Amino acid sequence: MKDLTKRPAWKALSAHCKKIKPLHLRKLFAADPKRGQRMTLEAAGLFLDYSKNRITDKTIQLLLQLAEESGLRERIDAMFSGAKINITENRAVLHVALRAPKGATILVDGKNVVPEVHAVLDKMSAFANRVRSGDWKGFTGKPIKNVVNIGIGGSDLGPVMAYEALKYYSQRDLVFRFVSNVDGMDFVEATQGLNPAETLFIVSSKTFTTMETMTNAESARAWLLRGLGGDAKAVAKHFVAVSTNAEKVSKFGIDTANMFGFWDWVGGRYSMDSAIGLSSMIALGPDNFRTMLDGFHQMDEHFRAAPFAKNLPVLMGLLTLWYADFFDAQTVAVLPYENYLKRFPAYLQQLTMESNGKSVTLGGKPVNYETSPIYWGEPGTNGQHSFYQLIHQGTHLIPCDFIAFANALAPLGRHHDILLANVLAQSEALAFGKTAEQVRAEGVSAALVPHKVFEGNRPSNTILADRLTPEVLGKLVALYEHSVFTQGVLWSINPFDQWGVELGKALAQAIIPELESPANPKLTHDSSTNNLIKRYRKMRAAV
Ligand code: F6P
């Protein structure tokens, strides 16, 4: 296959974007009164309005052609069939198998993995029900009241996001806390006020070697034993593990009977619907968790089967590429108008940037185009009173994904209409702005006119769903997962490894003894790092 920039569609897009850039969305809408109805897509219950993008039908046609020329169809089929598409780790990429219905067949190395997936789900369900009902007793015979998930990255961000997003459906007499940071205060705050006799720790780590998680798990064990009189037998009643590494789990002292497994073909950032979601399942109950999986699966099927022109994740992935590569847009803002989705942008940051923050192709050659943009965001309307100023009038082009729901989970007076009026107003303001003539017509003084002009022509997508249910959350996450996949395929990069996190980890391991050593260690770093280490050793209080 030709390098991306040599493909005919890329060349055509390079020429085409020169024609599109001077066009204003005002003109595009004026020329096509049906644009707002036409440039929409509905799939699996999610409605996407992409009309407020700086595109024409020709743009979409060329982007779709680029997807074809990039072999997207074959890559999708390869992923779903269990091929080892994570070539730098020689692994299949099968998060789609985590939500495949019972009875489906997905082969990895000739073995159907779906029965194993369902066996783990059943084991999780039985355990979750025991904790939820009070049947699972702690070491002193008290039922569990507090569930603390210890994990980081994909072993934290998904569980936290899902818990926050679906808190409305959670069992309210259980307390859920999440510890991720190796900063000890994260652990201290997460266990503040908890009774060890009523606390269950879920140690979530795919590898069971991650420094942050293991440090926190050791502190948790010490905290528990301190609180329960020091009998090591207490660990079995208060610790369970979620991991792919049974050996390390058992070495830590957790009975592997209390381990919930998953597989090397589940990437950390694609694991919230595996056993890593155990805390979510305890919070929501097995039925809601399975409904969420069904939502994921519906989007998977749509992605796998729908023609690209009607394929939600494909379209969103292509639009992201359009701005990143042809408009030099460096970021994408994800702006959910649903307070429960407050951790959704943070979750997406790992999903998108750990996946596609790459600069070499699958063949190991440096890319000569931009790859993943920076994802960021906050829920509306809060962001409107913070950073939206820059999106409206700053010098950066920031494509926005607005996410909104037609119905509130618990309607409260006029709140929801006001919330929705705001999300609609924002995308309208961004697209159409306000001209100098309009500002002058309001009687604004000449000196102030330039300050009050909104240039507009700032692109956005609006995703509208019925209400935030477990099923809809599954669909939303799968939508972004497959959009990221689409981008990765077109950029010819591997979205499923993360070598970029290794160097810092290794250097930290070398620095730890240099900070802790009682004797003055011989430092062989650069002069800045050496100096900072010396400063730290001088400044820190004796422990
Ligand atoms: O940050 C690197 C990373 O490997 C992530 O990809 C992963 O989600 C996270 O660390 C946690 O890894 P583990 O689940 O093995 O503790």
Cα dihedral 502, 83, 46, 43, rounded to 10, equals 160
CB 170 within 8 A of CB 284: yes
Q: Encoding tokens for residue 123?
A: 């084991």
Which band of pLDDT confidence, cut at 50, 70 and 90, is reported for residue 543? Answer: low
Single out the residue of 351, 369, 338, 366 nearest to residue 463, CA to CA. 338
Separation of alpha carbons 337 and 383, rounded Å: 10
Mean pLDDT of all residues in the chain?
A: 97
Test site for ligand 1: of 206, 271, 356, 494, most ligand atoms within 8 A of the Cβ: 206
Q: Which of 203, 157, 153 is nearest to 500 (CA)?
A: 153
pLDDT, tens only, 246-255: 999 999 999 9
Give the pLDDT mean for 212-225: 98
Rounded distance from Cα 242 to ligand 1 centre (Å): 13
Question: What residue's CA is closest to ligand 1, atom 10?
Answer: 153
Query: Which atom of ligand 1 is the closest one to the Cα of 276?
Result: 14
- Closest CA to ligand 1's atom 9: 153
Question: Quick one: what percent of the chain has pLDDT higher than 70?
Answer: 100
- Mutating to test ligand 1, I would choose from 93, 95, 155 the residue with most ligand atoms within 8 A of its C-beta, which is 155
Contact 500, 322 (CB under 8 A): no
Cβ-Cβ contacts under 8 Å for 465 (sequence gap 6 or more)? 45, 46, 47, 403, 404, 405, 406, 472, 475, 476
Neighbours of 467 (CB within 10 A): 12
How far does the centroid of ligand 1 lie from the alpha carbon of residue 349, in Å?
14
| CA 501 to centroid of ligand 1, rounded, Å | 9
Give 307: exposed, middle or buried? Use CB within 10 Å, 0-12, 13-18, 19+: exposed
Give φ, ψ of 232 to 5 degrees: -60, -20
CA distances from 368 to 4, 8, 352, 361, 365 (A): 9, 16, 20, 10, 9
- Catalytic residue annotation: 354, 385, 505
The tokens for 225 are 């034993």
Confidence of residue 541 (pLDDT cuts 50, 70, 90): confident
| pLDDT one-digit tens code per residue, 72-83 | 999 999 999 999
When pLDDT is cut at 50, 70 and 90, the band that residue 1 belongs to is confident
- Quick check: bond before 209 cis, omega within 30? no
Q: What value does the mean pLDDT take over residues 333-362?
A: 98
**Distance of CA 486 to CAs 308, 391, 439, Å?**
11, 26, 42
Q: Which residues lie with the beta carbon below 6 Å from any ligand 1 atom? A: 152-155, 205-207, 210, 213, 268-269, 354, 498, 501
Separation of 155 CA from ligand 1 center, angstroms?
Answer: 7
Give the pLDDT confidence of 474-525 residue by residue, as tens digits: 999 999 999 999 999 999 999 999 999 999 999 999 999 999 999 999 999 9
Scanning the structure block, which residue is given the tokens 């269950």?
200
| pTM score, whole prediction | 0.97
Pairwise CA distance, residues 181 & 320, whole Å: 31
